[in-house]
C-alpha cells in the first residue's frame, strides 16, 4: 500500500471513529452498545483487506482475525447476557493462523 493510500484510509477511519463518538456523546445513536463492535469490525476488515491485497501481506490475517474475533465476542456477550462468546475469539484466531499457513506453507509455525 502506498503512503498516499495509507494516509487516506487512516484519515477516513479516524473521521468515522470521531463521528461515531460524537453521535454517542449527543445520544443520537439511542444505544452505544454496538459502537465498539463497529470499530473492531472496521479495524479487522482493514487488516483482512490488506491480507487479500497481496502475498507479501500474509501477516495481516492474524490481527484482522483477532479484531473480528473480539467483535464477535462482544456481540455474543451482548446478545446472551455474557453467557457465551469466549470461544469465538479462539475460532477467529485459529482461522487467522490457518490463513497464514495456507498462504505461505513455508511458515511452519502457524
Residue 24, in any domain of the structure: no
Residue 57, in any domain of the structure: yes
Residue 9, in any domain of the structure: no
Residue 68 CB neighbour total at 10 angstroms: 23
pLDDT of residue 6: 67
pLDDT of residue 90: 87
Residues in the chain: 110
Q: What are the pLDDT digits (tens) for 82-106?
A: 667 778 888 888 999 999 998 888 8
Is the distance from CB of 50 to CB of 85 less than 8 angstroms?
no
Residue 109, in any domain of the structure: no
Task: Number of helices (H) and strands (E) in the chain: give both, helices first.
Answer: 4, 0
Residue 66, in any domain of the structure: yes
Q: What are the pLDDT digits (tens) for 35-78?
A: 788 888 888 888 888 888 888 888 889 999 999 999 888 888 88
Residue 81, in any domain of the structure: yes
pLDDT of residue 2: 65
Nearest to 1 by CA among 43, 56, 44: 56
Phi-psi region at 84: left, alpha or beta (left = phi > 0; alpha = psi -120 to 50):
beta
pLDDT of residue 67: 92
pLDDT of residue 88: 82
Residue 81 structural domain: 32-103
Residue 93, in any domain of the structure: yes
How many domains does the chain contain in total?
Answer: 1
Alpha-carbon distance 31 to 93, whole Å? 29
Amino acid at each position: 500500500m502506498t503512503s498516499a493510500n495509507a494516509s487516506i484510509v487512516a484519515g477516513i477511519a479516524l473521521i468515522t471513529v470521531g463521528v461515531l463518538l460524537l453521535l454517542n456523546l449527543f445520544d443520537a445513536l439511542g444505544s452505544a452498545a454496538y459502537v465498539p463492535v463497529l470499530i473492531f469490525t472496521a479495524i479487522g476488515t482493514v487488516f483482512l483487506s490488506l491480507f487479500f491485497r497481496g502475498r507479501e501481506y500474509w501477516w495481516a490475517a492474524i490481527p484482522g482475525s483477532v479484531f473480528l474475533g473480539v467483535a464477535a465476542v462482544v456481540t455474543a456477550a451482548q446478545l446472551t447476557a455474557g453467557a457465551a462468546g469466549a470461544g469465538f475469539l479462539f475460532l477467529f484466531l485459529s482461522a487467522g493462523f490457518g490463513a497464514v499457513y495456507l498462504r505461505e506453507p513455508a511458515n511452519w509455525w502457524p
